[in-house]
Structure 1
């Protein structure tokens, strides 16, 4: 009940701010209005979209000398204040467009003169080339985020979302599908601004289910403001799927067949007057693949060495389907609702040879056969209502979402020796998440805006684990090993953000957010010895950002943000997974959230037409780092490698990121990105014996790509990725590299495309090696997977549509919280459950 009162208090505080705010459009205190204002909006005449950063100049009618001016904002709007009565010439200009001039009159006694929508026509040179190169750039740098336009990149065709994310600036995806942003895996992944149960269960598997041809663009937000959930210390990755904002009926089909995976995708969009209906379906399936494994573990204190060699054969499939209906009742009220379904499965059969020795004296040797099948799926249903007031930018929105997900794992293990008993088990986890969200935006004046809101997230997770051991000729239920773990997490939040346009070129944004978290966990098996867990904490999350627009399309931005990272069920479930006799795993319900403070300085520029530079330097200080750590342990009289999770210490990280795009010659585009950052963990006293040597490690991620447009609509592209090994406080995880080439042909007036993709032509298999080296444990693993692939992809767009200005953005629900397992839950962790 106290948490409910906290939410009410936060909302009441916001309402007090609204009640005391001056009327919209009135100048703030101390800022007297002299003369009148001239306002308007600049629109691209072909696409109907706003033109950002266009130059608007004002001159007395009949003269050529400019006396005032402004730049358009992200919505193409501009305002020129303090204009004395008279007639003026308003001129709009922007690179690649023909300049446009109109006559406007500032009337005495009239506060504002609206020049309306000003349509810009592309210049003659641009119109000549639009059939070949007149496109949105692959990477855009915006005021608060970096946007990667996947639909403009031919090399991702026929792949999945993981292949797309590998090419996004500042984002890394390793061989298991684990996703990190600037080296930080604590990143929140959204689809169309909303969380999805598929990502909550396993981000890696969810990305494999989502076809690349269904993705329009990817937004990367490294310094979220206080209006975003505090969760996700690394930042936010928002994947936008294709939904064409135009009137009429349109759609597309695409697919691919390759040596590693096959996929298909279909979209249908119906936009008629006030009604919009969007549906899509996409899926993929892989051919069975064989993985080779080597694992060695040595405990110096006892001299015990454990060795595993083997292989496994894995096949998988997955699909996502969604539908959305939105209706605009009038210019002030709109309603939207949608549902997203997902399902996936992977099956693994493997055999390993195992041995154990003590000071080089053999103790035992045996064979083990593993059979594992995991099926996961669920749905996300959401609805949101938006009310717009008469003043531009003044709106209220209410949103709700129900996410339901299931994760079912079944396995059994057979041994060739009587030293170990055969075992069978299953874990059928269920997660229900309910969210309610209220957001309010109030422009206090033309230069001051306040945003506020409240939110509640209620999670109900149940993870039953059943184990069966051999008795006679069959399996019997094992009361001691089996367990049902129930976990509830409620989060209540309130926020306020103030935005101030201090001058024509300087903008300021400050905000604060309060989040209260209440956690309860309990086991239904008293024999397991797992005690109930209870925890609650309150976090204050401030944010600050200031940006300045410079001459010649340059901008600079400085920001500070504080983020937290709550652990999800994979980290919390205290049940001990003993399905592997040499390596066992257990969660920790007493984990505290990570807390990260970030400072970032960003600079972007367009030094010449078709080129762009974006660079940033940053510093991150993280306390209570949540990491897994391995240590030697004893179970049933035998030494095992035991892995659990804890708040292992602190970390300071300095980093720099550089992205560049250039067109050195006609039809050739080169792009590159380099991220370099440090990792220096300081282990707390309880973990110093389990930590590797404490020093500063440099890590990096780099990619370079090139594309060339040949005559007759042939396009060739290539890119290469190189990621350094990722450090942990005990050792390192594998490095990753990949080279992709593609060649595509467009036809039917560019409505259809067919192409071929080649991945790592000189590497049939790829090895991934990781190490742990502490004073108490030395561990090494190496596994290899088939990697070289060749595939054919195609796409076709259909329908007759008319472009219309882009409609207002629906807010929806945006749960940016919970530290994810980044795909680890999909690697056969049977007893832990993965219902979150």
Structure 2
């Protein structure tokens, strides 16, 4: 623990700052000794998402030298090649094998002429992504998940897809953790979502799974990404069609649990002359429920039982969502492209909560009955615009890109809370009504400039700068209503304004040798914030300001032990930060029900994490990793008991440590059977003092998630999958074990252009979370939730594609601010 911490602390010193550029210079200079050549090329005429396998062979004995796949535009390259004569061999389902002529290199880069694969006579020219792409792909700095490879993802939401990604867990409140750590930043197309856990979960429920092309899991993201997110970054890449002419796809689904749900999307692309137009539209309805039981037990200072509280809450939620994304690229010349992307969503939602509770004395005899009814009506909307420009300086790969983003969020919410108290015999003794309006606005502006500079035969340097400006305004107006007359409640009413400015710069160097790949980066970020809570007749004004700077290094190494690349070793090291959500810093309290209050915390400080991972990959099929993380001042929910009221607010845990083993395997026991399995065995520990209580505990947990896929006929396939996890320690919470099974069928129709899928989630209705709340003075609690988790879904997908491949560029300069938006 101490050596790793010391390394990162030293890198923050002025001496380390001076040494980093020097070390990079020495590294680059030393690499010139092994100057080698590169083979570059371009594949043309492929359908959307097709990724053939390219093998580079020695001509003299056909020994495999390197393997790669093209990018989304069809471009590929083989770097750091020794002098010699090679042959390029390309294979792909539905196309004839391709063998190039002899390629003779002698320390000079080779640019191959465009390559057009020839379709097999009896095969469709368009091969679906699910037939060609594996569920999991491992890269030097990330794991790529291809959702279309799983039948059970059809007709579901993006949040459902995330729950099936290896190492990703989503709790009942929508909080996302990865490999045992909270504090994950979620990106959409390399742009942060700027939302807190609850709002992000609702948005992902409104984004159909059919809109997703791939999910990138980065526990230690490279320096080009913002340093936010102590557990790393999850980047959801939406589908983009890349063929000339008109092409696209439609996804329709209907699901039925206790309540119905439907997720539908349509995307298309059209290229005409110098314009490329692309879009994605989706509509969804998601109705669900939660049957929540909470028990609380109160004790005297001497430890004897004093009283109790038991509550059942039936929560019914109805969400609808409309999402739209429209973009255009204009090709000014062969070297420069100007683009714009407009996107937004409107997500209205309603929820109703019926609470029935009883207060118990020391003999567990009921002394009072409480009935509470809470109703909420909320509309959460967003609009954003991105302007981007790219300039390809030369054919060697030098490129300059610029992005500017303006993003606006607005939440309009009204809610009411009616509390009624009764005697054990059912006689009404007291009743109150509390109403509130909770408008909020968030405005974000970002600007980013990136430059890529390939070094002559010795690697590549990437560098860039970014600035972001955030302004939020949250108003909470509460009123006590009696006999139809509303009186302001200044105990809960509040207005909070927040400003933040982050300026960052980064430098990244990467290099490939015959057996070794290296990526080394450094990022510098400065953060300035101002928070102001406006006063009212009961509460005085308060404000705070902060200014802090941090260095965030990253290192990746991949070493291939043999020429056939059967065995590969990997190493990644990085430092990250997790800043508080904007609303978490708001120092006010509001009631969730009569016995539970939620509050903000203006004293939160950023979380810093130090992450180390060692891995071994066998035949690109089985990856085993040893992982170790130290997290300082972890931001997570805390609970404090005062009288009979529980106060829930975000707080800083002194230190969390996570270490253990993960295994990710993609196996094929038979041609008709593919098995994808992920498992992790880890120890999670906490050391902290919360509200006078010492928390010093660690526990092991085990998670396993197998996915079986079966090819029954050419057009019919099936899936059987599930997961199991033991108890997991998370601060003051200790969850119970849960498990679930899901299954599905997939049938190709309409000559292979359409697919009908059936799937059933949580077959045995066992995925019902619960647990204990501990380390609270003179109190303890437990809870159990029953969810609408068993859902039967039928879906239909149809894709059309006409034309030749073209390039749609990634755009977006905003990278971390969205993940911290909270509006209620």
Q: Does 1:135 align with 2:135?
A: no
Aligned to 2:417: 413
Residues 573 and 612 in structure 2, CA contact (< 8 A), matched pair in contact too: yes
State yes or no: 1:521 paired with 2:531. yes
Query: Which of 624, 635, 646 is residue 626 of structure 1 equivalent to?
Result: 635
**How far apart are 1:789 and its partner, in Å?**
2.1
Corresponding position of 2:786: 784
Please state how far the C-alpha of 1:548 moved relative to its aligned partner: 1.8
Selected match of 1:243 from 240, 243, 255: 240
Identify if the C-alpha distance between structure 1 residues 466 and 67 changes in structure 2 by more than 3 Å, giving closer, same or farther.
Answer: closer
Q: Does 1:100 align with 2:113?
A: no
1:129–1:510 Cα change, 3 Å: closer
Does residue 336 of the first structure (1) align with residue 339 of the second (2)?
Answer: yes
SS at match of 2:192: coil
Q: 1:772-815: per-residue Cα shift (whole Å, max 9, x none)?
A: 122612011223223322222112223x41342x6374352141
TM-superposed deviation, 1:115: 4.2
Q: How is 1:365-380 mapped onto 2 (pairs within 5 angstroms)? A: 365-380=369-384
Change (3 A) 1:90 1:122: farther
Contact 1:662 1:669 in 2 (8 A): yes
Which of these residues, 475, 497, 520, is aligned with residue 510 of structure 1? 520
Do the aligned partners of residues 504 and 463 (structure 1) sit closer, same or farther apart at CA in structure 2, a change above 3 Å counting?
A: same
Q: Give distance in 2, aligned partners of 1:475 and 1:38.
A: 75
Q: CA deviation at 1:70?
A: 6.2
1:479-490 pair list within 5 angstroms: 479-490=490-501
Which residue of structure 2 aligns with residue 384 of structure 1?
Answer: 388
CA pair 535-113 structure 1, distance change in 2 beyond 3 A: closer
Q: Is 1:356 aligned to residue 366 of structure 2?
A: no
Residue 770 of structure 1 corresponds to which residue in structure 2?
771
What's the counterpart of residue 7 of structure 1? none
> For 1:548, which of 559, 577, 582 is the aligned residue?
559
Q: Which moved more, 1:768-777 or 1:296-305?
A: 296-305
- What are the within-5 Å matches in structure 2 for residues 12-411 of structure 1? 28=29, 31=32, 37=37, 39-41=39-41, 43=43, 54-57=55-58, 64=60, 76-79=76-79, 83=83, 89-93=85-89, 98=97, 100-103=99-102, 114-117=111-114, 135-197=132-194, 202-260=199-257, 261-287=261-287, 289=289, 291-301=291-301, 303-360=306-363, 364-411=368-415
Superposed displacement of residue 50, structure 1? 7.1
1:622, distance to aligned residue in structure 2 (A): 0.7
CA distance in structure 2 between the aligned counterparts of 1:521 and 1:30, rounded to whole angstroms: 49
Distance 1:340 1:127 in 2: 34
Stretch moving more, 475-484 or 424-433? 475-484
Do the aligned residues in 2 keep the contact of 1:41 with 1:50 (CA within 8 Å)?
A: no
Higher mean alpha-carbon deviation, 245-254 vs 38-47, is at 38-47
Question: What's the CA shift for 1:770?
Answer: 2.3
1:729, CA displacement in angstroms? 2.4
1:461 aligns with 2:472: yes
In the alignment, which of 656, 668, 671 is matched to residue 651 of structure 1?
A: 656
Q: Secondary structure at the match of 1:401?
A: strand
Any idea what SS the aligned residue of 2:553 has? strand
Deviation digits for residues 595-617 of structure 1, max 9, x if unmatched? 0000111222327xxxx212221
Most deviating of 307-316 and 714-723: 307-316
Q: Shift of residue 337 of structure 1?
A: 1.1
3-state DSSP of counterpart to 1:166: helix
Q: 1:278 to 1:45 in 2, by over 3 A?
A: closer
| Aligned with residue 563 of structure 1, among 550, 558, 576 | 576
CA offsets, 1:165-188, max 9 Å, x none? Answer: 122122122344332111222111
**Is residue 56–residue 69 contact of structure 1 (8 Å, CA) maintained in 2?**
yes
- Provide, for residues 454-512 of structure 1, a one-character-per-residue CA deviation record: whole Å limited to 9, x for no partner: 111111011100000134442222234311111111111111112233x3221222221
Kindly provide the CA deviation profile for residues 322-354 of structure 1, in whole angstroms up to 9, marking residues without a partner as x: 111112222211112112211223322232223
**Residues 524-603 of structure 1 correspond to what in structure 2 (within 5 A)?**
524-526=534-536, 527-529=538-540, 531-551=542-562, 552-554=564-566, 555-603=568-616
The CA deviation string for residues 15-43 of structure 1, in whole angstroms up to 9 with x for no partner, is x999x999xxxx95783699x95733374
Unaligned 5+ segments in structure 1 are 1-9, 59-63, 826-832
Deviations 1:555-587 (A, max 9, x none): 322111000000112421111113522111211
Q: Match for residue 447 of structure 2?
A: 436
CA distance in 2, matches of 1:664, 1:679: 34
Q: CA–CA distance in 2 between the matches of 1:363 and 1:278? A: 63
- Between 1:488-497 and 1:694-703, the stretch displaced more is 694-703
Query: Are the aligned partners of 2:193 and 2:818 in contact in 1 as well (CA < 8 Å)?
Result: no
Structure 2 CA distance for aligned equivalents of residues 461 and 209 of structure 1: 24
Q: 1:588 deviation in Å?
A: 0.8
1:496 paired residue number: 507
Q: 1:47 to 1:766 in 2, by over 3 A?
A: closer
Instruction: Tell me if structure 2 keeps the 8 A contact 1:294–1:308.
Output: yes
* Structure 1 CA distance for aligned equivalents of residues 650 and 373 of structure 2: 28
Query: What is the alpha-carbon distance in structure 2 between the residues aligned to residue 737 and residue 224 of structure 1?
Result: 30
Partner of 1:830: none
Structure 2's unaligned 5+ residue stretches are 1-13, 422-428
SS at match of 1:801: coil
8 Å contact kept, 1:70–1:80 = no
Distance 1:793 1:803, change over 3 A: same
The alignment partner of 2:379 has SS state of: strand
Question: May I ask how many residue pairs the two structures share in their alignment?
Answer: 780
Calculate the aligned-residue CA RMSD, in Å.
Answer: 3.5
Give, in whole Å, the separation in 1 of the partners of 2:523 and 2:85: 45
CA contact (8 A) 2:741 2:762 kept: yes
The worse-fitting range, judged by mean Cα deviation, of 293-302 and 449-458 is 293-302
**Which of 747, 754, 757 is 2:756 aligned to?**
754
Distance of 1:69 and 1:251 partners within structure 2:
37
User: 1:530 Cα shift?
Assistant: 5.4
> In the aligned structure 2, how far is the partner of 1:93 from the partner of 1:645?
56
Which whole-Å CA distance do the structure 2 matches of 1:330 and 1:536 have between them? 43
Greater mean deviation of Cα atoms: 245-254 or 586-595: 245-254
Separation in 2, partners of 1:143, 1:379: 35
Q: By how many angstroms is 1:676 displaced? A: 2.2
Specify the alignment match of 2:425 in structure 1: none
- What CA distance in whole angstroms lies between the structure 1 residues aligned with 2:462 and 2:355? 58
State the alpha-carbon separation in 2 of the partners of residues 213 and 647 from structure 1.
Answer: 38
Contact residue 423 and residue 579 of structure 1 kept, 8 A: no
Alignment partners' CA distance in 1, 2:272 and 2:560: 39
Match for residue 745 of structure 2 among 733, 743, 746: 743
Counterpart position of 1:617: 626
Q: State which drifts further: 786-795 or 414-423.
A: 414-423
Quick one: structure 1 residues 670 and 128, their matched pair in 2 at CA, closer, same or farther if it must change by over 3 Å?
farther
Which residue pairs with 2:459 in the alignment?
448
Partner of residue 665, structure 2: 660
1:61 — aligned with what?
Answer: none
Secondary structure of 2:437's partner?
strand
